[in-house]
Amino acid sequence: QQQVKQSPQSLIVQKGGISIINCAYENTAFDYFPWYQQFPGKGPALLIAIRPDVSEKKEGRFTISFNKSAKQFSLHIMDSQPGDSATYFCAAFTMRFGAGTRLTVKP
Amino acid sequence: ETGVTQTPRHLVMGMTNKKSLKCEQHLGHNAMYWYKQSAKKPLELMFVYNFKEQTENNSVPSRFSPECPNSSHLFLHLHTLQPEDSALYLCASSPDGRIPVLNFGNGTRLTVT
């Protein structure tokens, strides 16, 4: 069963724009919500993560917003750059991943 | 480098062959994982080892056989595979099974002919 539902499947953003990727989870026992970034030919790499005791975490241009009551969390990429073009995965504590979002940032 | 090394990077095998994928981590982690990544499916968790003990097997067909001789090494033995098994096989490690921070290798691209 898919424990983490991610959307959209693909996203095209202009350089300098904001990219937003959403995830919804089912199991309220989850207490750690990471995002991974994967470039072609590479394995996923941890990008940023949040615990449910905070509603937002920011690292540089990347921000996670967490809505515990809605059981949703999202990744915001500010001032998106062509180098951000990759596939992004949300994950749940049980090491299961969302379906992935292929982000393309156009120059 | 991620600290997790997978070999080979590419593998082509026939359906009657037997081959093995190797994963080695240099991070001092105690948990290791096998994932399958197909073109149109989410990352699928296959097996989990924590302190060398298998703690999870997600209904993986028996033609995939994992082996974890120590906390630094993980193998995936393959035999009589099917074309639909063609995928990228990713190995990952974490400090232990309770800490969900995964370090992935760059995977083995497997093609079954």
Q: What is the band of B100 on the pLDDT scale with cuts at 50, 70, 90?
A: confident
Given this model, what pLDDT does residue A2 score? 55
Nearest CB neighbour to A46, from listed B48, B101, B107? B101
Given this model, what pLDDT does residue B98 score? 77
Are the beta carbons of B2 and A45 separated by less than 8 Å?
yes
Task: Please list every residue in chain B whose beta carbon sits closer than 8 Å to the beta carbon of residue A45.
Answer: 2, 104
Given this model, what pLDDT does residue A88 score? 97
Q: Are B30 and B49 in contact (CB under 8 A)?
A: no
Given this model, what pLDDT does residue B56 score? 86
For chain B, give the percent of residues with pLDDT over 90: 80
Task: For residue A106, give how far its alpha carbon lies from the nearest alpha carbon of chain B (Å).
Answer: 23
- DSSP β-bridge partners for residue B100: none
Task: Please list every residue in chain B whose beta carbon sits closer than 8 Å to the beta carbon of residue A99.
Answer: 41-42
Mean pLDDT per 10-residue run, chain A (107 residues)?
Answer: 84 98 84 91 93 92 93 96 97 84 96
